[in-house]
Amino acid sequence: MNSGIFLINKDKGLSSNKAIQKIKRRLDIKKIGHFGTLDPLAEGLLVCGINKGTKLSERFLNLDKSYFSKIMLGIQTTTDDSEGSVIEEKKIQVSEEEIIEMIKTFVGESKQKAPFFSALKYKGKPLYKHAREGKLIEKEPRDIKIYKILNIVVENAFVSFEISCSKGTYIRSIARDLGDKLGCGGHLVELVRLSQGKFELKDAKKVDDVQMSDLINMEDLSL
């Protein structure tokens, strides 16, 4: 029985669970799991454990990650991304330079409040399920670290950049908090995971293209 990991390039609109279930059925794999959820809105690198490789979950979840992200300022949503309902719209009354400088303040250690719509659990149930029932559960802020933010581009209401961060960081929360700090609101409209630890998106295969020959075997893994 082959064991190890696949590097998957998940498409936008596909849930992480559906992505791995498609692989499981197509390649007739006994056991499969992913190491870090990507929302349906997000795309990019999804690391999956196969058979005994699923036991590596905790080690992978602790690895740092990097993303390309795009935020729209001026609109706040219920989910802090474009899949939610609009809560409020405001004019953007700050300059491009002020936006760039504010983004840079996120670099370093801080405490971050998770979105109300997230997979974190309260009383054994994900927060997003509570939120869908109209119960907005606020978890204690968590310690995170942003290592660097690069290639910041401001185009009208949109801000894009690449970000490297510690485990547990929600980019949707950064979109929300950036909008709050600028006084205009904001939400995430695009997210691409570029790396997880030493593993990179450029080496990943699409769900429909991955083959057993793409498996990185357990003995070849070094985290």
**For the chain, what is the mean pLDDT?**
90
pLDDT tens readout for residues 155-172: 999 999 999 999 989 999
Q: Residue 39 is encoded by which pair of tokens?
A: 């929302």
Q: Are residues 138 and 190 in the same domain?
A: yes
Q: Are residues 118 and 18 in the same domain?
A: no
Q: Are residues 92 and 180 in the same domain?
A: yes
Residue of 7, 60, 64, 1 whose CA lies nearest to 31: 1
CATH of residue 29's domain is 3.30.2350.10
Buried (b) or exposed (e) across 81-109, using 16+ Cβ within 10 A?
Answer: bbbbeeeeeeebeeeeeebeebbeebeee
Per-residue pLDDT, averaged over 32-55, amounts to 94
Q: Where is 71: in which H helix or E strand?
A: strand 65-73
Identify the band that residue 125 occupies on the pLDDT scale cut at 50, 70 and 90.
low
Residue 219 has pLDDT above 70, yes or no: yes
Q: Are residues 161 and 210 in the same domain?
A: no
Q: Are residues 21 and 124 in the same domain?
A: no
Identify the band that residue 176 occupies on the pLDDT scale cut at 50, 70 and 90.
very high
Task: Select the more confidently predicted residue: 135 or 199.
Answer: 199
Q: What's the pLDDT at 1? A: 75
Q: Are residues 188 and 206 in the same domain?
A: no
Per-residue pLDDT, averaged over 56-79, amounts to 94
Residue-by-residue DSSP string for 86-128 = EEEE----S-HHHHHHHHHTT-EEEEEPPPSSSS-EETTEEHH
Q: Are residues 125 and 55 in the same domain?
A: no
Identify the band that residue 212 occupies on the pLDDT scale cut at 50, 70 and 90.
very high
- Domain residue limits at 208: 4-62+198-220
The residue annotated as part of the active site, out of 11, 39, 81, 208, is: 39
Q: What is the pTM of this model?
A: 0.90
Q: Are residues 18 and 123 in the same domain?
A: no
Q: Are residues 164 and 73 in the same domain?
A: yes
Does the annotation count 39 as an active-site position? yes
Residue 218 has pLDDT above 90, yes or no: no
Q: Are residues 44 and 78 in the same domain?
A: no
Residue of 20, 153, 27, 12 whose CA lies nearest to 81: 12
Counting the structural domains of the chain, the total is: 2
Q: Are residues 85 and 182 in the same domain?
A: yes
Angle between helices 96-104 and 171-182 (to 10 degrees): 130
Q: Are residues 91 and 153 in the same domain?
A: yes
In total, the chain counts a number of residues equal to: 223
Q: Do 72 and 157 form a contact (C-beta atoms < 8 A)?
A: yes
